[in-house]
Each structure stands twice: as structure tokens, then as C-alpha cells.
Amino acid sequence: MIITNEFLSQIHDDINAIRCFVDPDATQKQIDELNAQIDNPNLWDNPDAARVLLQKKSGLERTLGELYQMESEYTNLTDLYALAPDDPDITDAIVKLAETAHKAKFITLFREPADKDGAFLFIQAGAGGTEAQDWAQMLSRMYARWAERHGYSCEVIEEHEGDTAGIKNITYRISGERAYGWLKNEIGVHRLVRISPFNANGKRQTSFASVDVWPDIDDTIEIEINDKDLRIDTYRASGAGGQHVNKTDSAVRITHMPTGVVVTCQNERSQIQNKEMAMKMLRSKLYELEMQKRAEAEDAAKAAQKKIEWGSQIRNYVLYPYQLVKDVRTGTEKTDSDAVLDGDLDDFMLALLQRG
């Protein structure tokens, strides 16, 4: 491949776009502030908060390190190319750097304040009993594998098993830099078409499950919640667990009466911890509702895109009579459905982020 000046200029422009978005001085200041908090000897009195701080610091350091590495490689490779333009190793390295810079520039698509945060992801089986509950479990594995591919932690907050197979619903807490920015456009109904493994006649079956996502906002974002607006119920946790689970009313359900938002948590070790996590989920959900209200005021069409409505699927997963996963909003499609169900979702997410 011949490396033109235009090709080198495009790499330079991509790296500069990343630098403007990252703002190295501001990012380093954030890292320094986090280090000061991490040095607090009382940090691990709250392990959950400590984990969030460490993950946030790690994400910022990784982003800054990747920027500095690309800038260094660009300087070195352009100098080497000027001396030896016919060296194939140098040419290949420049092409590889161009691909890296182009992919890294995608972080500039995360423009909303909460895009940098982690996420809560909720999957609900649709009507259809075992078929839909099995599909919901397939989706839960798909998102867990996607999170693993991105180096995110994926914690089960609440899960209800299906009557004979699969799950009725599940709530994940996905922690890591920009998890919400990636996942926010997954909200909606997901439709599966396949030969049913639960039907002795081998008939084709269509199943539905819904996905909801809201940001795992940090304590710097203030959300006003009045105690008088809350109804807090405790109940006995269900499902697998240790000696404590299933023996006491440790699970917590919080209803925010003005909005009707309900959040539940049962997987922490105590009722107090479950209540703390449920309150965190409630704050995050109310924040997301407020963002949706603003979106409706600014752009009704974009706001409607985020609503969950049965019968208006955002993506079809066809496993029979052919294999095809297609996003109905962008037309993005993949024929390797096994890879998609194993977490290969980035192309679908990027298409929506680029559309804006």
C-alpha cells in the first residue's frame, strides 16, 4: 500500500479529535483526585464504592495511556517512513495505527453526561412462557459476554428463574468506563425466531424479551428523593444463595409513588445492603427518566426511539430457516448469529451512536 499525505493527515486528524475529547490535562486532574480518594485509609469501609473508584481510575488511565501511545507511534512512524518509504514493516505499522486511531475515535460519540458511567441492565421475558423465558436467558448471557469482551464487571442484582427453564427477568449492574454510553440504545424489544427446543413437533417459534438500561450515576449527580414518596417492602429472597438467603426477609423492593418506578434487590448479603443498592438503582432510574423528559422536549422522534413497546422490536434474531441478526433501526445485519449471541454487538451499537 502506498501511504499518501492525505492518509497520514487523516490519522493525525483522528488522534487530534481524540485529544480534544479526552482533554489530557483535565483527565490527569481527575486521576489525581481519584488517587487522593483512594489513599484514604477508610476507603475499604465501603467495598462497593472502593471498587467503583478503582474502576473509574483504571478507565481514565487506560484512555489517557492509549492516546499518548498513539501520539508517540504516529511521531515515530512518520519519521521512519520519511527515511524508508518502501519498508513494508513500516507501511504495515502505519496502516495498523490508522485502524487503531479510527476505532479509538469512536469515544467521541459519547456526548451525553451519563455516557461515561456504568449501567444497570434489565431483561424481561415477554409473553410465551418457557419459550420467552429461555430467550431472556439467552439475552442475559449475550450481554454478560459482551461485558466480558469490554473488560467490564457484570454483577447480578436481581434474578427470577423461569417456571421450567430460562429466566423471567434479571437485573445486571455493568461497571466500567462508558458502559452506559455503549448500552443505552439497546433499550427495546428483541425478537427471536427459531425451531423451538421445547416443542416436540419442531415448529418454528417467535419469542420476545424486552431490555431496559439506565446509567449507574455517581454521587456527584444530585437526585432529590423524598422519603414520603417511597414505599419500601421487604420479602424473602428467591433462588440460589447462601445460608442467609431464603431464611430472612432480606430482599428489598422500593416503589417511587410519584412515578411508579419499582426497583428490587435481593443478591446482597443483608437487608441493609439490598436497600442501599435499591436506592442507588432508584436514583439512576429517576435520572434516566429526567433525561428522557428533556429528550422529548428537544426531539420527540428521538425520545420515542427509547420507549419500550411490545410489538415494536428493535432487533430481530433469526436462527431458522436462515441465520440473520438485523437491527430494524439502522439496517445493520450480521449472518453469524452465534457470534452475536456470544456478545459480538459492537457493530449494532456503533451504527446507532454514529447516527446520533
Interval 221-245 mean pLDDT: 74
DSSP symbol at 269 = S
Among 356, 345, 298, smallest CA distance to 150 is for: 345
- In the chain, the percentage of residues whose pLDDT exceeds 90 is 63
Classified as helix, coil or strand, 29 is: helix
Higher pLDDT, 82 or 292: 82
pLDDT in tens, 115-148: 988 999 999 999 888 999 999 999 999 999 999 9
With vertex at residue 58, the alpha carbon angle to CA 54 and CA 64, rounded to the nearest 5 degrees, is 145
What pLDDT is recorded for position 128?
82
pLDDT at 245 over 70: no
Higher pLDDT, 245 or 266: 266
Domain spans in the chain, listed from the N-terminal domain onward: 5-109, 113-215+309-355, 227-297
Among 291, 336, 350, 355, smallest CA distance to 112 is for: 291
| CATH 4.10.490.10 is held by the domain 113-215+309-355 | no
Domain 227-297 -> CATH class? alpha beta
Number of C-beta neighbours around residue 316 at 10 A: 16
Domain 5-109 -> CATH class? mainly alpha
What pLDDT is recorded for position 304?
41
How does the average pLDDT of the chain come out, rounded?
A: 88
pLDDT in tens, 14-39: 999 999 999 999 999 999 999 999 99
pTM: 0.74
